[in-house]
Amino acid sequence: MSLDAARFATPHDHVYLGSNHARNEKRTWLVIAITAAMMVIEITAGSIYGSMALVADGWHMSTHAGAMLIAALAYRYARRNVANTRFSFGTGKMGDLAGFASAVVLALVALLIGWESLMRLYSPVAIDFRQAIVVAVIGLGVNLVCAWLLRDDHSHHHGHAHDHGHSHDLEHAHATDNNLRAAYLHVLADALTSVLAIAALTLGSLYSWNWLDPAMGIVGGLVIARWSWGLIRDTGRVLLDYIPSDEDLPDEIRAAVETDADKVTDLHVWQLGPGQHAAIVVIQSASPLHLSDYRAKLAHIQDLSHMTIEIEGPSPPSALSGYQAL
């Protein structure tokens, strides 16, 4: 068995950013500005009126504003270094790295909420319910606006072409921008604590249940901790090139390539960016086809943005075997 290692070094780009990268970056900066302004209002009002839920909501906003700053800077860095050849497969994973960092911050926020709420259970303080409710409602409104700005409209279209003939005019139906998701979860956590604060303050004012305010803080902390774990898990998998069990891309590649004569003997698939994957495929064949034939077999796989093919066979001509990025 011989291996022809002819390499096709035709220059081509490695732009694997999300299809809505520029839009998401602009909206993230806008949300940071809105969140920072409301953060100051809620922390100040909560301290004056004695509401732990309101102070917690304000501190959530402060930490979430910092976390969203991580997201915004990641968008900016990925965009500015998109043509940097030192990134072997582009900067598409920068958002996942930022999302992982944001998830860790979110987990710390959950711990802080739980601790502060427990302290308030043991050392209750007087609460000015009416004033606190007004500010909490305003905070909820701000959170809903920010959540709307950070929504994912699922229009993942990606179009760029490489000059050696492989096209990426594709629709990535299952693309997930984990950087945007992280920013969205931070805003959602703020909205949750606002809702819990309003509920606690309203019931507390009616029945004099001062204990309900910190109790709601504990509930909010537990929910946020669960969200943060889900984000840590998903972004960590992307960073470690983990392919979920429900990802059918490897099976699609095998089904498209394998015949009685062609067998896939080694296959590696990993994510390059939102909705974009790379694969290294080793094909053993007694009668190897031309590389363009294998490329044509894989052309219908939408999420496959970069491919390296290696053909192993009985001394095939160089034109029929080797490596090629699709």
Question: Over the stretch 300-310, which tens digit does the pLDDT of each residue have?
Answer: 888 888 888 88
Continuous segment of H or E residues that includes residue 40: helix 21-49
Report the amino acid identity of residue 285.
Answer: S
Rg (CA), the chain: 25
The percent of residues above 70 in pLDDT, for the chain, comes to 83
pLDDT, one tens digit per residue, over 12-35 is 556 777 778 888 899 999 999 998
Indicate if the pLDDT at residue 122 is higher than 50: yes
Give the integer Cα–Cα distance in Å for 178 and 157: 17
* Statement: the pTM of the whole predicted model exceeds 0.85: no
- List the CATH code of the domain at 245-320: 3.30.70.1350
pLDDT, one tens digit per residue, over 75-107 is 999 988 888 888 888 888 999 999 999 899 889
- 76 with 158: CB under 8 angstroms? no
Domain ranges of the chain: 21-239, 245-320
311: left (phi over 0), alpha (psi -120 to 50) or beta: beta
What mean pLDDT comes out for the span 69-78?
91
Indicate if the pLDDT at residue 210 is higher than 60: yes
Indicate if the pLDDT at residue 292 is higher than 70: yes
The percent of residues above 90 in pLDDT, for the chain, comes to 24
Give the integer Cα–Cα distance in Å for 56 and 112: 9
- For every residue of 221-279, DSSP letters joined together read HHHHHHHHHHHHHHHHHHHTT---TT--HHHHHHHHH--SSEEEEEEEEEEEETTEEEE
Write down the pLDDT at residue 244.
82
Residue 295 burial (CB count, 10 A): 16
Indicate if the pLDDT at residue 57 is higher than 70: no
Nearest Cα residue to 149 out of 25, 61, 19, 273: 25
**Do 21-239 and 245-320 agree at the fold level?**
no
Give the integer Cα–Cα distance in Å for 318 and 7: 10
What mean pLDDT comes out for the span 112-131?
84
Fold entry, domain 21-239: Alpha-lytic protease prodomain-like (1.20.1510)
